[in-house]
Structure 1
Amino acid sequence: MELRDIEIFLALAEELHFGRTAERLHITASRVSHAIKKQERRIGAPLFERTSRTVRLTALGKQLRDDLLPARLQIQQALDRAVAEARGITGLLRVGYSTPWCADLVFHAAEIFRSRHAGCTVQIQEIQFDDPLGLLRRGELDVQVSEFPVHEPGITAGPVLLSEPRALMVPAGHPLAERGSVSLEDLADAPLIAPRGNFTQATLDAHLPTRTPSGRLIPRGPAYTFWSEAPALVAAGLGVSVVAARAAHYHDRPGIVFVPFHDGPTLDYGVLWPTAGPSPAVIAFINVLRERKEPRRPQQR
């Protein structure tokens, strides 16, 4: 298997979408399809299950992905070290994050990065929900770790770094607070508090749906600009908020309860950077993030 074919396979294994894989690798979807079919013929078994709506890895495909990832990482690290040695990774690297758990990941990665590239200064800042991609678009950040999905021209979405089960943050006196778990259908039973800002349709569909899976209308509560407002609004009984389950460890306070969902997808967080010419420092930092991935969960209180 040629190195380019390995790259195509691993990209499709992450994206699970031929079009996005092609866009990410700057090739055509037919080139992706041809490469995968060639690999499957050589191996003698399917690597992906394809339907008109979904693409999934087979058990063999998952095994191949897991076997290839460490090798690819090792190759990339070797290339990054060579680039860093040749060009020198210096100057200022500006990194953004959107949540405390993304901050944990970013700060730890920055510590490792500084130990490898002492000539490069890392500047870290929080991203606000009212302008989630603005700093990246305006060139005020070089890379950021925040919520997925993101399908925006000029912005490259890298790998998912962590996936988190969802929970519903509800007022302590609300009937849902007595439940052991909630469903996406329960979103029709209380106003949904959401951040204000300019969000893409993909983000709205994933995080701020207007209807439940059965089609029931999800009522809207007040909006917030800064995350610190959300627990206060919920505690005041003005609505509920869909959050990562991990938020209970960071944002618990009197008057609110976190109830896990027993259905629905995870909340995913990944790395983003401007598509046009990422610097050697950006590439090196992304690879540190890939090495580090999931930050350690806080201990239960």
Structure 2
Amino acid sequence: MERREIEIFLTVGEELHFGRSAERLHVSVAMVSKTVQKLERSVGAALFERTSRRVAFTAIGRRLFEEVKPAYQELLDAFARAVASGRGVDGVLRVGFLGTATAQFVMRAAELLQTRHPGCEVRLHESRFGDGTAVLRDDVIDVLLVDTFAVPVSTLAPGHSAGPVLFREAPLLAVSARHPLARREAVDVGELARYEVLRPQAPVRPAARTSAPEQVAGGPALGQAARRAAPGGAELLFAPAPAHSSLAPGRAPGSRGVARSTEFGSIQELWALVGGGHGVYPVPSHARVYDARPDVAFVPLKGAPAYAWHLVWLSAAENNRIRAFSEAACDYVAAHPDPLTGSA
């Protein structure tokens, strides 16, 4: 049965009159009659008893009506809910972030969104370094705040959309307070080949759904495509140290040797490894304020690309809530020169 045939059958069943049914549906009486006859041929039995004075259900017709009507209404309701979700702003929006400062930015953007759309509820989700856009594909969140160093727009997998750059931050190098580099005024990105640079853990996902390294932010090498896309010699950030160096220049005095390519899964693991002298790691400038601790020093990193933050979402899942949140985030940035602190 096609949708129009179902509508005609149910309307005739409610009106028990071909003329009134035709008026309700804005079709001719002949079309109503032909449609009912077609359905009866498909069923192989009469659905209505028709005389010049009345229309009544047959037993088969009544049973079909009672079974089809609620099922059809459920389909209509489901479609209406989908339309409301796609076109409306009311409902739940799940927003992902990474780090303390970006969480505060997301919260402020969410507050602005909710002043405009009180029916929209924003739920925050803290991502791990290695998750990348997997949390979008796995339907954990709807939209993710990331930086173009970890997830360059040019390397996004097909089916992803990115909003405009919201704000930028200068790169710093996080090192142990006991590290020789901690006493430097700045470090050139080309020097990092001599030191052990920590790496985010790749996400643990089912084998059938695991993405290629280029599509997972923070994979074992940030993805070859991501490193090629990074300007300013940033491809050296994750280059291995020379085999003969034994990492001596990169060790803080008194630190214990660890296996190469030490990985971390969370921010706290990162700071523990850096503070313990087990490696260095490039970070955005807000880390100096929001992640300050006595065993970690932050040194300006020259020649590395800036951290440019933007929102990412699945193209097929884009809806008015995502668009409204992106607009609120842009408006908040326009009104606050320092969006991470909220300074106007």
Q: 1:124 — aligned with what?
A: 124
Residue 203 of structure 1: how far off its partner (Å): 3.6
Preserved CA contact (<8 Å) 2:169 2:284 = yes
Preserved CA contact (<8 Å) 2:146 2:309 = yes
CA RMSD after TM alignment: 3.0
- The equivalent position to 2:165 in structure 1, one of 138, 157, 160, is 160
Preserved CA contact (<8 Å) 1:98 1:147 = no
Question: Distance between the aligned counterparts of 2:241 and 2:197, measured in 1?
Answer: 13
The correspondence of residues 132-211 of structure 1 with structure 2, limited to 5 A, is 132-148=132-148, 149-150=152-153, 151-197=156-202, 199-200=213-214, 201=223, 202-205=225-228, 206=230, 211=236
Q: 1:90 — aligned with what?
A: 90
Residue 114 of structure 1: how far off its partner (Å): 0.8
Preserved CA contact (<8 Å) 1:145 1:271 = yes
Residue 298 of structure 1: how far off its partner (Å): 4.7
Alignment coverage as a number of residue pairs? 216
- TM-score, length of structure 2 as denominator length: 0.57
- State the structure with more CA Rg: 2
Residue 287 of structure 1: how far off its partner (Å): 0.7
Q: Secondary structure at the match of 1:228?
A: helix
Q: Classify 1:175/1:285 alpha carbon distance in 2 versus 1 (closer, same or farther; 3 Å).
A: same
Of 167-176 and 94-103, more deviation after overlay is shown by 94-103
Preserved CA contact (<8 Å) 1:192 1:240 = yes
Q: Deviations over 1:45-92 (max 9, x none)?
A: xxxxxxxxxxxxxxxxxxxxxxxxxxxxxxxxxxxxxxx9x9542111
Q: Deviations over 1:177-216 (max 9, x none)?
A: 1111110022123211121115422445549966369997
Question: Distance between the aligned counterparts of 2:189 and 2:89, measured in 1?
Answer: 46
- The equivalent position to 2:294 in structure 1, one of 245, 254, 270, is 254
Instruction: Please identify which structure carries the higher strand content.
Output: 1
Q: Secondary structure at the match of 2:163?
A: strand
- The equivalent position to 2:282 in structure 1, one of 220, 239, 242, is 242
Preserved CA contact (<8 Å) 2:189 2:234 = no
Residue 155 of structure 1: how far off its partner (Å): 0.9
**Identity, % of aligned positions:** 33
Question: Distance between the aligned counterparts of 1:215 and 1:236, measured in 2?
Answer: 20
Q: 1:111 — aligned with what?
A: 111
Q: Verify: 1:272 aligned to 2:277, yes or no.
A: no
Q: Secondary structure at the match of 2:122?
A: strand
Q: Which runs of 5+ in 2 are unaligned?
A: 1-83, 204-212, 215-222, 248-259
Question: Distance between the aligned counterparts of 1:243 and 1:87, measured in 2?
Answer: 38
Q: Secondary structure at the match of 1:192?
A: coil
Question: Distance between the aligned counterparts of 2:158 and 2:116, measured in 1?
Answer: 32
Preserved CA contact (<8 Å) 1:170 1:256 = yes
Tell me which amino acid in the other structure corresponds to 2:140.
E
